[in-house]
């Protein structure tokens, strides 16, 4: 049991490695919210949303795409920060030149 991760399989329900479906309770919902507050990205689909798609395949694909999205967003953030710093430097230089 120690190596058995819980897979979130939908908004409303959780599918564990034991293949049981557990109704999303207020307590579980709070746990998900707490994880998000602590900086975790949490994605949950219900069985109806998954349809006949394999939970494991969906999870694996989301991880693959997630890594790409994270890398892209981190690069965009770096570029935005560089532009912001350049703009602030320009504003500072302009103010100093106007004195």
Give me the tens of pLDDT residue by residue for the chain, a chain 99 residues long: 334 444 544 444 454 444 455 667 788 889 999 999 999 999 888 888 888 999 999 999 999 999 999 998 888 888 888 888 887 777 777 767 776
Taking the alpha carbons at both ends of the chain, their separation in whole angstroms is: 70
| Structure-token pair, residue 69 | 């999205």
For residues 28 and 68, what is the distance between their CA atoms, to the nearest angstrom? 28
For residues 62 and 80, what is the distance between their CA atoms, to the nearest angstrom? 26
> What is the pTM assigned to this prediction?
0.51
């Amino acid at each position: 049991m120690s190596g058995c991760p819980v897979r979130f399989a939908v908004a409303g329900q959780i599918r564990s490695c034991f293949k049981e479906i557990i109704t999303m309770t207020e307590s579980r919902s709070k746990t998900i919210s707490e994880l998000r507050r602590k900086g975790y990205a949490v994605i949950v689909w219900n069985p109806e949303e998954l349809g006949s798609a394999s939970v494991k395949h969906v999870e694996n694909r989301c991880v693959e795409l997630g890594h790409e999205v994270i890398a892209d967003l981190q690069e965009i953030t770096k570029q935005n920060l560089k532009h912001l710093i350049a703009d602030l430097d320009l504003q500072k230089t302009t103010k100093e030149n106007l004195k």
